[in-house]
């Protein structure tokens, strides 16, 4: 619900990392995975383990997230059975986000910070949201995987597959979601994942630019 004199229906979005609010869930059947701890180990046939000299897989992801920084731009697209249904363009500056969401032929702008959340249609007046905006820092959920697998690695480039609890990604239905994470030059460059939603399969693809010239975001917006 939005605080304001005129009730409006603000656009529902498609589930997370951009954290979107369409009810959806991942595969409820856990994949066969090995838990990643702070120190990876190699297990021998007799059940003993020895510390590995390789960087833990979660550390590879953590370093790549840190490399993006706290000031970056991103673009996210959501397709449903191959047809684009939502596009989000946004910037994040030290935890405060400004987002433009286009879906169903309409656009809504959001600003979200620890001080509050606001929304408007382009050119309109900002309206204070009485509940949290349906978008959050899209990198933050990536730091809490259940498991991380390195599929390919070459120098500072890598392709990871990480499993997350659907609730971490913003899905009320929970379940587990496998996310493909592309690391380029040591930084997370893109992520993608599929989720089953009512009526088909949604694919979420988000690209990140940690080198973008991001300006401070005014709160409250004017």
For the chain, the farthest-separated pair of C-alpha atoms sits apart, in whole angstroms, at 70
For the chain, domains (ranges, CATH) are 56-209 (2.50.20.20)
In this structure, are residues 177 and 32 in contact, taking their beta carbons and an 8 Å threshold?
no
Handedness of CA 119, 121, 122, 123 (dihedral sign): negative
What is this structure's pTM? 0.75
Paired residues of 160 in beta bridges: 150, 181
Q: What is the pLDDT along the chain (222 residues), one digit of tens a residue?
A: 223 333 333 333 333 333 343 322 233 322 222 222 222 222 233 333 333 334 456 889 999 999 999 999 999 999 988 889 999 999 999 999 999 999 888 999 999 998 899 999 998 999 999 877 667 678 988 999 999 999 999 999 999 999 999 888 877 667 899 999 999 999 999 999 998 877 688 899 999 999 999 999 999 887
Distance CA 31, CA 143 (A): 19
Structure tokens at 41: 């180990």
Q: Is the peptide bond before 201 cis (omega within 30 degrees of 0)?
A: no
């Amino acid at each position: 619900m939005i605080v304001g004199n005129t009730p409006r229906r603000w656009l529902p979005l498609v589930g997370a990392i951009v954290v979107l609010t369409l009810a959806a869930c991942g595969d409820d059947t856990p994949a066969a995975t090995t838990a990643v701890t702070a120190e990876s180990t190699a297990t021998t046939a007799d059940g003993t383990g020895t510390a590995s000299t390789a960087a833990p897989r979660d550390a590879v992801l953590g370093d790549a997230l840190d490399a993006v920084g706290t000031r970056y731009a991103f673009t996210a697209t959501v397709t449903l059975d191959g047809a684009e249904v939502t596009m989000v363009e946004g910037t994040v500056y030290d935890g405060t986000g400004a987002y433009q969401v286009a879906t169903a032929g309409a656009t809504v702008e959001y600003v979200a910070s620890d001080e509050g959340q606001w929304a408007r249609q382009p050119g309109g007046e900002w309206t204070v949201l009485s509940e949290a905006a349906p978008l959050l820092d899209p990198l933050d959920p990536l730091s809490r995987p259940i498991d991380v697998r390195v599929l390919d690695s070459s120098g500072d480039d890598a392709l990871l597959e990480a499993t997350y609890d659907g609730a971490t990604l913003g899905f009320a239905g929970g379940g587990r979601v496998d996310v493909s994470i592309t690391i380029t030059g040591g930084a997370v460059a893109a992520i993608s994942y599929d989720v089953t939603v009512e009526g088909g399969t949604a694919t979420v693809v988000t690209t990140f630019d940690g080198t973008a010239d991001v300006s401070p975001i005014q709160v409250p917006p004017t």
